[in-house]
Structure 1
Amino acid sequence: MARPAPPSLRHHYIAYRAYARTKVACLRHAQGDPSAAADVIGYPGLALQHLRAGEVRLVLVRGAPGTGKSTQPGGSPTGWVRRSSPATGSARRSPA
């Protein structure tokens, strides 16, 4: 069974489609369709909203063994995934 797409990928796809619809609406408006003006105004905001919501962050942590790298103050932030170096062979965990 296929795993669902991560939220950041869904947001990127929605933003991409909103951008494409903006371009089509611009072409329609340039060809004389006055009803396309509302789409030209609305879709860019939707695209920007989803680009901001789907922003991906990467945090790299390194240090000597036993220095508390895996300890996260205040608990793990929602949606973060912790991966260990392949060289250490440590277990990997993901949020449920």
Structure 2
Amino acid sequence: MKEFAVLPTTEAVCHSAMRWLHDVGGFLGVVCCFDGTHIPIKNPGGPNAEIYHNKHDNFSMNVQLTAGANMCIVDIVCRRGGSFHDATILEASGLRA
């Protein structure tokens, strides 16, 4: 298992990823895909509990996963509470252009 998840860096690897994602899902010019979800947790209590209180009145972690060709995980962000917006999670991921 690799110690660090990385995005494709060479042109050949990028083209291979784009070809795979086009063949599998019909995506044109896409190197990787990402999505986020709320993972339910118990109320952590304490002064920072509201960080984990999401808009659905539950406590959660807002987690984003990025996958590339052949469903290889290239990035995971799981350090924000449920109150954080998806755009904040994306900024923390290092995937911004």
For Structure 1 versus Structure 2, the TM-score category normalised by the shorter chain is under 0.3
Larger-gyration structure (1/2) = 1
Structure ranking higher in helix proportion: 1
Give the alignment's TM-score, normalised by structure 1: 0.24
Higher strand share: 2
Scaled by the length of structure 2, what TM-score is found? 0.24
